[in-house]
Amino acid sequence: MGRSSRACSVLGSALLLLLLSLGSAAAQKGSTWKTLSGKAPTIVAKGGFSGLFPDSSILAYRFVEAASSPDTAISCDVWLTKDGTGICLPNINMDNCTTISDQFPQGKKTYNVNGVSTAGWFSVDFTSTDLQNVSLKQSILSRPYYFDGSSPIVPVNAALSQFKTSAVWLNVQHDSFYSQFKLNMRSYILSLTKQYIVDYISSPEVNFLTSISGRVSKKTKLVFRFLDERSIEPSTNQTYGSMLKNLTFVKTFASGILVPKNYIWPVTQDNYLLPYTSVVDDAHKAGLEVYAAGFANDLAISYNYSYDPLAEYLSFIDNGAFSVDGVLSDFPITPSEAVGCFSNLNDSKIDHAKPLVISHNGASGDYPDCTDQAYQKAVADGADVIDCPVQVTKDGIPICMSSIDLMDVTNVAKSQFASPAVTITDLKPVPGVFTFNLTWDDISKNLKPMISNPMSKFQLYRNPRNKNIGNFMRLSDFLAFAKDKDLSGIMITVERAAFMAEKLGFGVVDAVIKALDDSGYSKQTAQKVMIQSTNSSVLVKFKQETKYDLVYMIEEDVRDAAPSSLADIKKFASAVSVSTKSVFPTTNQFLTNQTNNLASSLKSVGLPVYVYLLMNEFVSQPYDFFSDATAQINGYVQGAKVDGVITDFPGTAHRYKLNSCMGKNAPDFMRPVQPGGLLSVMDGAQPPAAAPMPLLTDSDVTEPPLPPVSNTTTASTPSHAALRMKTDVSILITLLVLCASLLI
Where b means 16+ CB within 10 Å and e means fewer, 615-626 reads bbbbbbbbbbbb
At 717 the pLDDT is 44
CA–CA dist 143, 316 (Å, integer): 25
Q: How far is CA 532 from CA 355, 387, 389, 504, in A?
A: 18, 9, 9, 21
Taking every pair of C-alpha atoms in the chain, what is the biggest distance, in angstroms? 107
The per-residue pLDDT for range 4-20, each reduced to its tens digit, is 333 443 344 444 334 33
User: Strand, helix or coil at 586?
Assistant: strand
The highest-level CATH class for domain 356-700 is: alpha beta
Nearest by Cα to 595 from 671, 695, 469: 695
CA distances from 450 to 247, 360, 438, 471, 616 (A): 47, 15, 17, 11, 19
Confidence band (pLDDT; 50, 70, 90) for 687?
confident
Of 555, 574, 567, 550, the C-alpha closest to 601 is 567
Question: Residue 398 is inside which H or E element, if any?
Answer: strand 398-400
Beta-carbon neighbour count of residue 457 at 10 Å?
8
**Pick from 216, 286, 294: which is nearest to 257 by CA?**
286
* AA letter at 700: D
Q: 732 Cβ partners below 8 Å, 6+ apart?
A: none
Query: In sequence order, what are the residues at sequence separation of 6 or more whose Cβ sits closer than 8 angstroms to the Cβ of residue 593?
Result: 675, 676, 679
Identify which of 300, 328, 299 has the alpha carbon closest to the alpha carbon of residue 313: 328
Give the integer Cα–Cα distance in Å for 106 and 672. Answer: 47
pLDDT value at residue 688: 79
Q: Looking at residues 464-474, what average pLDDT do you find?
A: 98
CB 498 within 8 Å of CB 707: yes
Do 307 and 273 form a contact (C-beta atoms < 8 A)?
no
* 42-94+156-346 topology per CATH: TIM Barrel (3.20.20)
Cα gap 334→330, rounded to integer Å = 9
Angle at 678 between CA 674 and CA 681, to 5 degrees: 125
pLDDT, one tens digit per residue, over 273-332 is 999 999 999 999 999 999 999 999 999 999 999 999 999 999 999 999 999 999 999 999
Chain centre to alpha carbon of residue 458: 13
pLDDT tens per residue, range 536-585: 999 999 999 999 999 999 999 999 999 999 999 999 999 999 999 999 99
> In whole angstroms, what is the distance from residue 26 CA to residue 273 CA?
33
| DSSP state letter for 638 | I
Model confidence band, residue 163 (pLDDT cutoffs 50, 70, 90): confident
Cα separation of 294 and 44, whole Å? 11
CA 498/CA 536 separation, integer angstroms: 12
User: 102-106, 237-241, 341-345, 395-399: which range is least confident on average?
Assistant: 341-345
Q: Return d(Cα 460, Cα 453) in angstroms, integer.
A: 8
- Return the domain boundaries, the chain: 42-94+156-346, 356-700
349 or 301: which leads in pLDDT: 301
Q: HSE on the CB side for 422, CA within 13 Å?
A: 22
58: nearest Cα among 130, 122, 7: 7
Q: Within a 10 A sphere around the Cβ of 632, how many other Cβ atoms?
A: 29
| Torsion-angle region of 77 (φ positive above 0: left; ψ -120 to 50: alpha; else: beta) | beta
Q: Rounded to an integer, what distance in angstroms lies between the CA atom of residue 734 and that of residue 117?
A: 70
Residue 76 CA to residue 160 CA, distance in Å, equals 10
714: which residues sit within 8 A by CB, 6+ positions away? 392, 393, 394, 395, 396, 436, 504, 505, 506
Rg (CA), the chain: 30
Total-model pTM: 0.91
Least confident of 20-29, 47-56, 189-198, 652-661: 20-29
Coil, helix or strand for 352? coil
CA dihedral 210, 215, 218, 220 (to 10 degrees): -70
| Other Cβ atoms within 10 Å of 437 Cβ, number | 24
The C-alpha atoms of residue 80 and residue 178 are separated, in whole angstroms, by: 8
- 598-613: per-residue pLDDT in tens? 999 999 999 999 999 9
E strand or H helix at 225: strand 221-225
Q: Hey, do 42-94+156-346 and 356-700 end up sharing a CATH topology, with the first three levels equal?
A: yes
φ, ψ of residue 358 in degrees (nearest 5): -115, 125
Interatomic CA distance for residues 483 and 519, integer angstroms: 8
Cα 395 versus chain centre, distance:
40
Interatomic CA distance for residues 482 and 487, integer angstroms = 8
pLDDT at 348: 63
Amino acid at 370: C
pLDDT tier, 349 (very low <50, low <70, confident <90, very high otherwise) = low
CA 723 to mean position of chain CA atoms: 44
What is the three-class DSSP state of 117?
Answer: strand
Mean pLDDT along residues 177-186: 94
Q: 737 pLDDT exceeds 50? A: no
Pairwise CA distance, residues 566 & 379, whole Å: 33
pLDDT of amino acid 689: 79
CB 409 within 8 A of CB 450: yes
Read off the DSSP letter of residue 420: S
